[in-house]
Structure 1
Amino acid sequence: MAWPGNPTEERAIHAARSPQFRRGGARTLTVLAAAAVLAAGALGPADAIESDDTITVAYRGHEFTVPASWQVVDLDKDPDACVRFDRHALYLGTPGDQQNCPAGATGRTEALLIQPGSGGGTTVTENRTAGTYRVTADGIIVTATYGEDRTKIQDILGKAGLPVAAAQKGPTAGAPEAAALPADATSFRGEGFDACTAPGQSAMDAWRDDSDYGAVGVYIGGINRACAQTHLTAGWLRTQYANGWRFFPLYVGRQPTSDGGSCGGGCAAITDPVPEGTEAADDAAKQAAALGFGKGTVIYDDLENYTPGGSLTSQVLAYLDAYTKRLHKLGYRSGAYGNTSSLVTDLVANKSRVTLPDVIHFARWDGRSTTADSSIPASQWAKHQRIHQYLGDRTETHGDVTISIDRDRLDVD
């Protein structure tokens, strides 16, 4: 994998591949090659030395060694690149205001985003439920995600001199709860959209002025949340609320299967539904509170499409039942996103066996902007308790800003 750069950098990569540098092995090789190149002069803010097995990238005084098969993305050169954690990649720089993200990306694997930072000292936190490390160190902020290979990320961070063993544990370790948004922040009747990553301010302003949308779905967390959320902060939400936007917070927890639907990097699947559903609710509530979504907010667990029946249906229902019960104990309301042919079918057929979510967010891409659907009895979720995702994976442009979205009709109090 060649790193896009200047001729000096290209010589460094060539040197790393030359036979005389291979004799020391992949790890030693990258260090020797780096030393040779640094002696020739400064290479710039982000430089790469590559071997057959690994690539070592220097960024703002820190070095990160990752598998050579990983994609390396310079966000300063490509600010619209989508920062995705469902594929092996190393992202360097500040994500742009208008990332080109697919609306339906889902999944989680080993990946890193390294952004410029200003603080001194080092702090490391880990959210095991979401498979994420967050590091602040001299001049950088690192978001490191993992799916099945937590030790790979620990190894990368450890070799970069970042003390993962001393990580604070917890969904929002070190992050206080934000002041609660007004109670109507998640109440809305009308057109909405959801995008994989929260758009930047200029994009939100353009769509507010030039579209019929009034609500936006934001992905607040979960082990299978694929896209980075660099814009999604308590401050961002308060600004959008003041500008007239309303919200539906989505949580991408464990999925019915590990290889189905839109999971690009493979999904963390439901294996032990009751404790996993409870854990997801605990994490969702803490992520919501850190963003300013107060008690009473509906938090929608995203369950992608599956084939209902047998043990799979039992797992999904047990997971969602535990999620809903736990959210209720924490003072939040439960929402569930799913397809009319899978999750909705199972919930309707088993309504007496489970604690139903308070609001249903159902997907049927029929182009009908209505919350009525033949799969849902008129008596269920009848009191402003529905969202219909009626178009998906579409690209729209408003105010000269293009975003890949799913389109929704909301009727939620």
Structure 2
Amino acid sequence: PRFAGKAFDTCEAPSLAVMKAWLNSPYRAVGIYFGGRGRGCPTQKELSPAWVASAHAMGWRLLPLFVGSQAPCVYAAAKRPYAIGATPWSQGVREAGEAVRAARALGIGTSSPLYLDIEAYQVEDTRCAATTLSFVRSWNREVRRLGYVPGYYSSADTGIRHIEGQRKAGTQDLPSVMWFARWRGTPALYTETSLHPEAWTPHARIHQYVGNVAESYGGRRMVIDRNAVDAPVARVTTTGY
């Protein structure tokens, strides 16, 4: 399934009461941080199969984000403890399996996208960039083998630019969907300068265009990132609500 429209993401999945209140918002898709050792909010006390089924039944479309190991040259100090190790290819395979198991456990079925979150890193560090690319490619390949669609979230100026360069070079096992962060204030899904205009089109892009803003709907306030979406969303295999 695909979705075109506005989405938000926030560190911890909101309660179903908040999701219901936010039906008054312009958003109809939500990014959920469903797995990975590098998540900023690992507890996710609301996120469960019942939450997934109920939010989907309300009309929300889900963008599953996996924050696993990170580039050894990641900029964010908080992510450095999760650096990719000495065997990036096998590590990518392991973490892809972890991502698929976590998605299945929530009722997110095959053919769904799983978006690998790789935070901004020093692409000019060639050794680090090669390690990161090996991890990302193996994760993508294994996710595909297991029946899911590998997506990729990163900074437009670092991870996205790196993957675009690999696409131009003919590298295999690249992401099927690109979710790029450039906080420019307005959506630019198909005019992002780090991507060729005809790459990852149609229906394979998400632009996170504003970050860390507070919004209120239905009397419920959240701090969110804003996204413009033309991309695959989760296929939910359970029903509820």
Q: TM-score, normalised by structure 1?
A: 0.53
Structure 2 counterparts to residues 109-188 of structure 1, below 5 A: 184=1, 187-188=2-3
Give the distance between the partners of 1:203 and 1:267, measured in 2 at CA: 32
- Secondary structure in structure 2 of the residue aligned to 1:308: coil
Structure 2 counterparts to residues 331-410 of structure 1, below 5 A: 331-351=147-167, 352-372=170-190, 373-410=192-229
Corresponding residue number in structure 1 for 2:141: 325
Flag the structure with higher helix content.
2
Give the distance between the partners of 2:60 and 2:77, measured in 1 at CA: 28
Corresponding residue number in structure 2 for 1:223: 37
Structure 2 counterparts to residues 23-34 of structure 1, below 5 A: none
Amino acid at match of 1:226: G
Amino acid at match of 2:208: Q
How much does 1:354 deviate? 3.5
How much does 1:262 deviate? 6.2
How much does 1:221 deviate? 0.5
**Over residues 97-148 of structure 1, what are the superposed CA-to-partner deviations in whole Å (9 max), with x where a residue is unaligned?**
xxxxxxxxxxxxxxxxxxxxxxxxxxxxxxxxxxxxxxxxxxxxxxxxxxxx
**Over residues 135-183 of structure 1, what are the superposed CA-to-partner deviations in whole Å (9 max), with x where a residue is unaligned?**
xxxxxxxxxxxxxxxxxxxxxxxxxxxxxxxxxxxxxxxxxxxxxxxxx
How much does 1:313 deviate? 1.1
Give the distance between the partners of 1:406 and 1:302, measured in 2 at CA: 14
Share of identical aligned residues, percent? 34
Give the distance between the partners of 1:314 and 1:379, measured in 2 at CA: 25
Structure 2 counterparts to residues 4-403 of structure 1, below 5 A: 184=1, 187-209=2-24, 211-227=25-41, 228-257=43-72, 260-261=75-76, 263=78, 266-271=80-85, 272-309=87-124, 310-351=126-167, 352-372=170-190, 373-403=192-222
Give the distance between the partners of 1:319 and 1:302, measured in 2 at CA: 12
CA contact (8 A) 2:116 2:151 kept: yes
Give the distance between the partners of 1:397 and 1:200, measured in 2 at CA: 14
Structure 1 runs of 4+ off > 2 angstroms? 257-260
CA contact (8 A) 2:73 2:128 kept: no
How much does 1:370 deviate? 3.2
Number of aligned residue pairs: give it: 226
> Gapped runs of 5+ residues in structure 2?
233-241
How much does 1:258 deviate? 7.0
How much does 1:395 deviate? 1.6
How much does 1:253 deviate? 0.6
**Over residues 324-356 of structure 1, what are the superposed CA-to-partner deviations in whole Å (9 max), with x where a residue is unaligned?**
000111011100100111111111111112411
> Gapped runs of 5+ residues in structure 1?
1-183
CA-atom RMSD, angstroms? 1.4
1:299–1:355 distance in 2 versus 1, CA, 3 Å = same
Give the distance between the partners of 2:109 and 2:68, measured in 1 at CA: 20
Structure 1 or 2, whichever has the larger Rg, is: 1
Q: TM-score, normalised by structure 2?
A: 0.90
